[in-house]
Amino acid sequence: MANGTIAVSEKSFYEESTNKHSGILAWLLTTDHKRIGLMYLYTISGFFIVGVILGLLMRLELIAPGETIVSAQTYNTFFTLHGVIMIFLFIVPGLPAIFGNFFLPIQLGAKDVSFPRLNLLSWYVYMIGAVLVLVSLFLPGGPIDTGWTFYIPYSVRTGTNVSLAIFAAFVLGFSSILTGINFVTTVHRLRAPGMGFFRMPLFIWSIYSTAWIQIIATPIIGITILLVILERAFGVGIFDPALGGDPILYQHLFWIYSHPAVYIMILPAMGVVSEIIPTFARRTIFGYKAIAFSSLAIAFVGYLVWAHHMFTSGISDTARIIFSLLTFIVALPSGVKVFNWVATMYKGSIDPKPPLLWVMAFIVLFSIGGLTGLVVGSLATDIHLHDTYFVVAHFHYVMFGGTGTIFFAALYYWFPKMFGRMYNIKLANWGVGLFFVAFNMLYFPKFILGYMGMPRRYFDYLPEFTDLHVISTVGSWLMGITMIIVFGNIFYSAFKGPKAPRNPWGGVTLEWHTASPPPLENFHEIPTVTREPYDFSQLEEMNDESK
Amino acid sequence: MYFLLSGQAASRTTGAVDDVMLYITAISLLLLVGVTVTMIYFVFKYHRKKGHKPVDIHGNIWLEIIWIGIPTILVLTMFYYGYLGYKTIREVPEGAFEIEAKARMWEWQFDYENGKSTDTLYVPVKTPIKLNLESFDVNHSLYIPAFRIKEDVIAGRINYLAFTADKVGTYDIACAEYCGLKHSMMYSAVVVMPEQEFASWYEVDSTKVEPASEMAENMETN
C-alpha cells in the first residue's frame, strides 16, 4: 500500500505548514485539519479544566449546610457557568472537533476535510463564542445565574448578563453547524477509492450521524436565543407571561435542541468505543451494521423525546404518556450497542492496555447512566426525581462517565499517532483505576440524595443530607488528583515521552497505515481500500510496510 | 434504601412510586451485573497469549433479535408500571378538598376556601387534597419528597397536584425549580392532622399567618 514511502519526504505535519508562515502564525492561519484538531484540543481542554475547578469549588461549598466558602449568589453563578462551560465549550464540540477533525479525513483516506478554510473559521467562531462567555463574567451586572437552561421568566427578570452569555451560545452554535456541514460533505465526497459506506470505520459513522444532528437541531437553539434576547431588550411578549407570553413554549424550544444535543455529546463517544474494542481484542467488530444503524436510529428517535424534560411542567397527561413511551424506545439502540461491544470481546485476543481500560470503565459507568435513565424516563418515578440530585447523578454518569471517560480513552488511544510519542503505561493504568473509584464516590451518593428528596441547584440543604454530601466532596478531591495524573501524564509525554512507532496497538484502520505523527497530507499516496474496516489478517503485512 | 425502612407509607403515591422504582432498579441491576461480569470474564478468558488465535465473528442475527426483543419487552413493562403509578399520582377523586397554593420568590402561601391563609400547608389525614398551583413571578415547583410528588408552579397557568396523606405527621415542602437567590431556602411543610383536629383548626376564625414549621426555621438559622 505504501511502498516507496522512504523515497518521499519524511516530514510530519508539525514540520510542514499549509502556509508560508512559521511559528505561531503557522498554527493560527493553518488549514491543516490535524493542526486545527490540536488547536481545539488545547482550547477545549483548557475550558474543561476551568469547568472542573468550578465543580470542585461547588463540591467544597456543599461539604456542609449553610455558607461554607461562597455566597448563595456566587454559588448560583458557579453552577450556571459549570454547566455552560462543560456543555457548550467542552462536551458538544469536544470529540467531533478534536478527534473528528484529526482522524475523520485520515480514516477516510483523504488529504483533508472538504472545506479546510471553513474548518479554520469554525475554530475562530468557537473562540469568539468562548471569549464572549468570558467577557460576560466581568461586565457590570455580574455573571449569569440562571442555570444553563436559561428558563424564562427568571432569565428575563434577573439583572445578570444573560443576553451576552446566551449570545455566546448562539455564536458557538454556528461553529457546531459549520463543523457538521464540513464533516457530512467530507464523508460523502472524500472517501478513498474502495471505501464504501459499509467499509467506513464506525467512528466515522458516529461522527456522520452527529454532524446531521448538529446541522438540523442547532438552528432551533439559535432562534430561541435570539427571541430571548429580543424579549430582554424590547419586552416582546413571546415567553414571559407578564408580557402575554408562554414560558412552556420556551421550554419546548429549548429542549427540542438540547435533547438531540445530548446525542451530539454521546454518539461520537460511542464511535470511539467501536474503534478501541476491536483493536485491543484484535478481531472484527460484532454486529457492524447493528452498531452503524443504531447510531442513525438514535439520531432520529432522539428528536422525538424532548418533552421528557418537562414531565412536571404542566403539559397534558397525554403528552407526558407519549413522550415517556418514546423515551423508553430511544434506550434500545444504546442497549444494542453495549451488547455488541461486549460480544466483540468474545473469542478475541484481548490486551487490556489503557485505552481499553478506559472503555471498560465507560461501559460500566455509561450503563449505570443509561439504566438510571429508565428510572427518570418512567412517569411515576420521574415526578418524584425530576429536578433532584438523582437527575444530577444520572446525567453526570452519562455525560462525564460516558463522553468524558471516552474523551480520555480517545486521547490515550490516539496520543501516539497525534504526537508521535508514548505515555507512561503504568501511570495511565493507575489513572483509569483512580478515575473509576473517584467517579463513583463523587456521583453515586447523589442518586441516594435525590431519592431522599434533595432538589438540585441548592446552595443550602437540610442537615440529614450532610453525610452523603461529605462523601461526594471527598470524592471530588480524589477526582481532582486523578485529573492531575491523567493530564500530567499526557502533558509530560507530549514533550518527553519515548518515540512511538506508527502502529503501537496493532490497529488496522487507515490512521495506523501512516506515520506517527502523519505527514502534511496524511498519506504519501492515497490508499485504495480493499478490506472491511476491522480485518486484522492484514496486521502482518502492515508490519512490513512500516519498515 | 431508606424508603424500605420508613414503615407505613406517608401517602398512597409514596407506595406507588417506590414500587415502580424497585421494579426498574431490580431489572437494571440484573442487566448491569450481567454486562459487567461478562465483560470482565471475557477479558480474563481471552487474554492475549501466544498460540491463542482470535476468531472473527461478524455478528449473529438471532442474538441481535434476542437482545433487541427482550429489552423491548422489559422497557415496555417499565413504561406500563410507570404509567400506572402516574395515574395514581394524577387522579383527583370527586369532592377533593381544594387549596390554592401560591408561590413567589421565595415563599409559599396557601389559601383555603374559607379565607384562611397560611405559609404552612395544613391538611386532614386520609382526605383527598387538590392543590391549585399559581405563581406570582418566576417558575417554581411544589415538591413533597415524602409523598414522591411535585408539579411546577408557573406564572400564567394553573397546574395542579393531588394527594391523599395516609399518616399523621409533618413533611417537608421544597421548591424544586430553580428560582434565584434563595431557591434552596424556599422550604415549607405540610402538616397532616387527624380529621377532628383539622376541623377545629379550620373552624377557628383566624386569617393570620401561622408560624413557619420547625423545619423551615432550621433552614433559616443555618
Domain end residue (candidates: B32, B66, B90): B90
What number is the average pLDDT over the span A408-413?
Answer: 97
How far apart (Å, rounded) are the C-alpha atoms in residues A148 and A128? 19
Kindly state the average pLDDT of the residues A13-37.
Answer: 91
Question: Average pLDDT for residues A331-349, to the nearest whole number?
Answer: 94
The pLDDT value recorded for residue B127 is 94
Q: Does pLDDT of A4 surpass 60? A: no
Residues B146 and B111 in one domain: yes
**pLDDT at site B214:** 46
Say if residue B19 is in the same domain as residue B107: no
Please indicate, yes or no, whether residues B211 and B103 belong to a single structural domain of this protein: yes
Given CB atoms, is B193 within the 8 Å cutoff of chain A?
Answer: no
The DSSP annotation for A210-254 comes to: HHHHHHHHHHHHHHHHHHHHHHHHH---SS-GGGT--HHHHHHHH
**pLDDT, position B205:** 63
* pLDDT tier at A140, thresholds 50, 70, 90: confident
Q: What is the CATH number of the domain that holds B195?
A: 2.60.40.420
Same domain as B113, residue B81: no
Q: pLDDT grade, residue B5 (50/70/90)?
A: very low
Query: Could you tell me if B111 and B212 lie in one domain?
Result: yes
Q: Which amino acid is at A231?
A: E
Q: Which three cell numbers stand for residue A184?
A: 457530512
Q: Are B154 and B139 in contact (CB under 8 A)?
A: yes
Which of B38, B63, B90 is a domain's end point? B90
pLDDT higher at A6 or B78: B78
Give the lowest-confidence range in A99-108, A420-429, A538-547, B16-25.
A538-547
> Rounded mean pLDDT of A259-276?
94
In what helix (H) or strand (E) does residue A103 lie, and over which residues does it extend? helix A101-108
H-only helix segments in A247-353? 247-281, 288-301, 317-344
A 313-372 residues with CB below 8 A of B? 313-314, 317, 320-321, 324-325, 328-329, 331-332, 335-336, 338-340, 342-343, 345-352, 360, 363-364, 367-368, 371-372
Examine the domain organization and report whether B155 and B196 are in the same domain: yes
Statement to judge: residues B192 and B174 lie in one domain? yes
CA B32 to chain centre: 25
Average pLDDT, chain A: 93
Q: What are phi and psi of A94, to 5 degrees?
A: -35, -80
Amino acid identity for residue A331 in this structure: A
Q: Cell triple for residue A443?
A: 456521583
Q: Does A481 touch chain B (CB under 8 A)?
A: no
Q: Do B70 and B118 reside in the same domain of the chain? A: no
pLDDT score at B218: 46
pLDDT at A235: 87
Other C-beta atoms closer than 10 Å to the C-beta of A488 total 14
Side chain identity, residue A447: F
Chain Cα centroid distance, residue A314: 32
Domain end, chosen from B90, B107, B131, is at: B90
- What is the residue-averaged pLDDT of chain B? 89
pLDDT at position B53, please? 87
A57/A244: higher pLDDT:
A57
Q: Tens of pLDDT along B131-179?
A: 999 999 999 999 999 999 999 999 989 999 999 999 999 999 999 999 9
> Do B177 and B119 share a structural domain?
yes
Distance CA A157, CA A171 (A): 23
Cβ-Cβ pairs closer than 8 A, A with B, add up to 267
Domain encompassing residue B180: 97-221
* Terminal-residue alpha carbon distance, chain B: 27
Residues B85 and B101 reside in one and the same domain: no
Both B46 and B136 in a single domain? Answer: no
Q: Which CATH number does the domain housing residue B32 bear? A: 1.10.287.90
In single-letter form, the type of residue at position A529 comes to V
- For residue A59, give the H/E element and its range: helix A33-61
* Domain total of chain B: 2
Residue B125 forms contact with A (CB below 8 Å): no
Report the pLDDT averaged over residues B51-63. 90
Which of B28, B149, B154 faces A247 most closely, judged by CB atoms? B154
pLDDT of residue B58: 92
Q: What is the ipTM of this complex?
A: 0.91
Structural domains in chain A, CATH included, are 27-545 (1.20.210.10)
* Segment A342-353 mean pLDDT: 95
Task: Give B-chain residues touching A352 at CB under 8 angstroms.
Answer: 43, 47
Yes or no, beta carbons of B57 and A284 under 8 Å apart: yes
Chain A residues with CB under 8 Å of B79 CB are 324-325, 328, 377-378
Residue of A nearest to B90 (CA): A317
Residue of B76, B184, B190 to mutate for A, most A C-beta atoms under 10 A: B184
Same domain, residue pair B185 and B101: yes
Q: Does B200 touch chain A (CB under 8 A)?
A: no
Q: Give B206's pLDDT tier (boundaries 50, 70, 90).
A: low
